[in-house]
Amino acid sequence: MLPTTFRYARLLSLLLLALAAFASGCAQRYISLRKVPKNPLEGPLNLLSRSGPKPTGRTEMLLRRYDLLESHQKQPQLALLGLRKRTLEEPTSDKVYAVAELAYLDAKRKQDAGQTKEALDLYGAAVAYSYRYLFEPGLDRFRNPYDPQFRRACDLYNSSLEGALRIAIRQGKVKPGQTQTIETASQQFRLDIEVKGPWHPEDLNRLEFVSDYEITGGLTNLHHTYGLGVPLIAVRAAHAGEDAAEKFYPPGLSFPVTAFLRVAPDSDPQSNGTHHCVLELHDPLHSTTLMVDDRMVPLETDLTTPLAFFLDNPKFQAQNISTWGLLNPGGATETKIKGMYMVEPYDPNKIPVVMVHGLWSSPITWMEMFNDLRSFPEIRARYQFWFYLYPTGQPFWVSAAQMRGDLANVRQTLDPGEQNGNLDQMVLVGHSMGGLVSKLQALESGDDFWHILSDKPLSELKASDEAREKLARAVYFHPNPSVKRVITIGTPHRGSDFANDYVRLIGRRLITLPEMVTDLTNQLVLANPGYFKNKELLTTTTSLDSLAPDDPIFPVMLSAQKGPEVKFHNIVGRIDRSGFIQQWTEDGDGIVSFKSAHLDDVVSEKPVTADHLGVHRHPLATLEVRRILMEHKEAVDKLSGSSPMVAPAGYKILSSGSEMGTHLPTTAGVRLPPANVKLPAAGLPRPIGAAPTIPGAR
């Protein structure tokens, strides 16, 4: 037993810790604008040098070989034209690369001088020559992927394309789904702009460059892969003709896109006619490779910077109601800032993972784990992540009842015929109180939850049909047949000592329950004297009251019948107790004791050395969730009888419930509520051989 003074000192310190965490969260900035865009060619080409940009040593050596070095130092354009001529006479990889490099350097000079059309012409030439270096069949015998020059050619392609895109975007010439004509100083281009992946062209309201931004906090790991293309941030806006799933997208949503330009082959490289190119905007969550001239090419991608950009968006910040949802749950409910949110396009071929936050929190608490989980190709290929937002000032069983209805609404919206088996393999991940909300989606109530309130039949309650039904929804429920796994993290399965009398008293004074709820419950008590054996549970309970260790709901939840096909997993936090102060603390994460967080009847339990506020952000917790998701994926694939199918672009593969091995639970032996009580529905190679177009060639 801990000394009283230490117990209250610890509780006070934990409260201050929570306040500090909240204050830092309010001031949290995830991203900042760079003074100069990040450029991989900055070092090799001395782009920021006082003496000005200059070619690499190998390019200077090539210029010297053809007696063009002095010419380049005095008149760079003449030297570029001279080297182009040499390249046409005898194409080799070193000359093709040098032309791309010199064209890029000249484009930078023209752009700095305000000569936009000339710069666009030269950026186009740099893109075409670097593309030629990487893919032209005639250069196969020269091409060496182990040569550092090969990677610089990739960087030249990416940086030149980015330079051209910056100009084209400022001119309003990059409109997804359309064909644009772009005029340079000497040529004309017909540019088809195609969106590759599940997003609609109308979704791409605005494009920002990843290279303009850097992560400043909130997200520890930057997930960036290397290849070809320009990583972009696509900012979404609501538009006409939205499909049903788009109502679940939060305002201010942004998502990753990689731009890749295909340089079409041309029989006459000297043509002064209109050149045709295709600008592809790829969703890296959908695919990280593409085929170019029968070769598999990795895309350059960035998943983290667009996420940070979204988290910094004021429109999204306005939805982050962690404090309002705690202190004024009724206000949060009335403004409808709650329910399911998707930050990726709904994909019927993927299994949903629903992440449920805890007390005084919001979906933003999951972004560290979410950022890391979707960096694993095998996870993002099979799973889609949804986030559940609810006001945390109300008792967790009220939030659980709301979540049942919201899951049913999502299923009715996305799959009204209930034909998609992937939606019947749902995984719930809950932190802290969110773990209790999640767990209640997979339990059978029987009469046990009702008997916490009264031993008398619900049918004898004197109340309107509406009041009786609302009460029944909270205490009578079945396991959601769509939920197949529940992962609880730092969850007080037996309550928390943090919810002591003092904290609960403060909570009652600060938390304002909806008047319609308090009025309804008070009326029920007054109209039914002697009916309820636990009046306080109805009339004055807040979320803090509901988490008290002596709350009678915890023994009932621990003994309740579980869904027949649901697997439960548990992650518990345990702080280091080696210090002087820590030796006075109870074993656990500082808020939830290990005794309360521990479960015996689970498939797995993973201890993590972390406190309550950080256990779900800890890398070992992320790896454990990944392990469970991979285990679930393998089980689903085994039940389906085959390896998972991958849908080609433009096609969808839907698995039926029987194929996925899902079955609705039978009602045999299950206690049902009185017949007059309505319950909510359960829910939820080789290149082609032709030379590429070379813009600006003479």
What is the DSSP secondary-structure string of 375-415?
A: TSHHHHTTEEEEEEE--TTS-HHHHHHHHHHHHHHHHHHH-
Helix (H, G, I), strand (E, B) or coil at 456: coil
Higher pLDDT, 550 or 46: 46
What is the DSSP secondary-structure string of 218-257?
A: S-----EE-SBSEEEEEEP---TT--GGGGGSPTT-EEEE
What is the 3-state secondary structure of 521-572?
HHHHHHHCCCCCCCHHHHHCCCHHHHCCCCCCHHHHHHHCEECCCCEEEEEE
Condensed to tens digits (0 to 9), the pLDDT of residues 469-517 reads: 888 888 899 999 999 999 999 999 998 766 444 333 333 344 344 444 5
Domains of the chain in start order, with CATH, are: 33-306 (no CATH), 314-456+480-496+552-640 (3.40.50.1820)
Burial 250-267 (b: 16+ CB within 10 A, else e): bebbbbbbbbbbbbebbe
Residues contacting residue 502 through CB under 8 Å, at least 6 positions apart: 8, 11
The predicted structure's pLDDT at residue 590: 87
Helix (H, G, I), strand (E, B) or coil at 216: coil
What are the structure tokens assigned to 296, written together?
């598999």
Closest to 446 (Cα-Cα) out of 147, 667, 117:
667
Mean pLDDT computed over 686-690: 30
Residues contacting residue 322 through CB under 8 Å, at least 6 positions apart: 22, 25, 360, 361, 362, 364, 392
Q: Is the pLDDT of residue 32 over 90?
A: yes
Q: Is the pLDDT of residue 628 over 60?
A: yes
What is the 3-state secondary structure of 345-368?
CCCCCCEEEEEECCCCCCHHHHHH
DSSP 140: T
Model confidence at 579, pLDDT cuts 50, 70, 90, reads: low
Q: Among residues of the chain, what percentage have pLDDT more than 70?
A: 76
- Give 344: exposed, middle or buried? Use CB within 10 Å, 0-12, 13-18, 19+: buried
Q: Are 514 and 521 in contact (CB under 8 A)?
A: no
What are the structure tokens assigned to 230, written together?
């320009």
Condensed to tens digits (0 to 9), the pLDDT of residues 631-685 reads: 999 999 998 775 444 443 333 444 433 333 333 333 333 334 444 444 444 333 3
Cα atoms in the 13 Å half-sphere on the side-chain side of 267: 0
The predicted structure's pLDDT at residue 394: 80
Helix (H, G, I), strand (E, B) or coil at 163: helix
Condensed to tens digits (0 to 9), the pLDDT of residues 135-182 reads: 999 998 888 999 999 999 999 999 999 999 999 999 999 999 888 777
User: Do strands 604-608 and 567-573 pair parallel, antiparallel, or not at all (unpaired)?
Assistant: parallel
Condensed to tens digits (0 to 9), the pLDDT of residues 237-281 reads: 888 888 999 999 988 899 999 999 998 765 334 445 667 889 999
Q: Are 568 and 454 in contact (CB under 8 A)?
A: no
Q: Which amino acid is at 526?
A: L
Q: Are 590 and 575 in contact (CB under 8 A)?
A: yes
Mean pLDDT computed over 30-38: 94
Model confidence at 71, pLDDT cuts 50, 70, 90, reads: confident
The predicted structure's pLDDT at residue 649: 39
| Least confident interval from 66-80, 392-406, 578-592 | 578-592
Q: Are 340 and 410 in contact (CB under 8 A)?
A: yes
Q: Are 451 and 498 in contact (CB under 8 A)?
A: no
